[in-house]
Amino acid sequence: MTTLSLRPNSIGDAIIATYGYADPDRAAVIQNLIARLDDDGGLGDIARYYIVKTEYRRATLRSVISTLKLKRPLWLNRNRDAAQANRQFIEATHETYHAWRRSQSKTNAAMRGSPNRKTPNA
């Protein structure tokens, strides 16, 4: 787990400062990241998995971290060691991340009152 702690309000301020809402794709990446932060705002395994999957997401987070003047985690660097660490991390965390996604999908469906929601037998 990375000890970097991000607060959604701070991230929002960084988006405004960095992009001025000019780049909706980057804002969407940050919104998705915020949904994946740990309960205390930490950049844990779920958030890291989401970020390291694409260079675009890594670049977006690097710019926000730079704007917030936070220390960048080593896995966010653009070098061979970071790439190797991220490949290993993705392999080790794949099932955990997708289990989280499935649980989020079920939670969201239940909140919407989805007709596909299974109800326990009475």
Question: Secondary structure of the chain: what % helix, strand, coil (to 5)?
Answer: 70, 0, 30
- Segments of the chain scoring below 50 in pLDDT: 1-3, 20-21, 117, 119-122
pLDDT for position 22: 54
Q: Give the dihedral of Cα atoms 87, 88, 91, 97; nearest 10 deg.
A: -90
pLDDT for position 107: 78
Cα 16 to Cα 51: distance, rounded to the nearest angstrom: 20
Which tokens in the block code for residue 105?
């999908």
Cα 85 to Cα 46: distance, rounded to the nearest angstrom: 16
Structure pTM? 0.69
Q: Please, are residues 41 and 5 in contact by the beta-carbon 8 Å criterion?
A: yes
Cα 32 to Cα 26: distance, rounded to the nearest angstrom: 10
pLDDT for position 117: 47
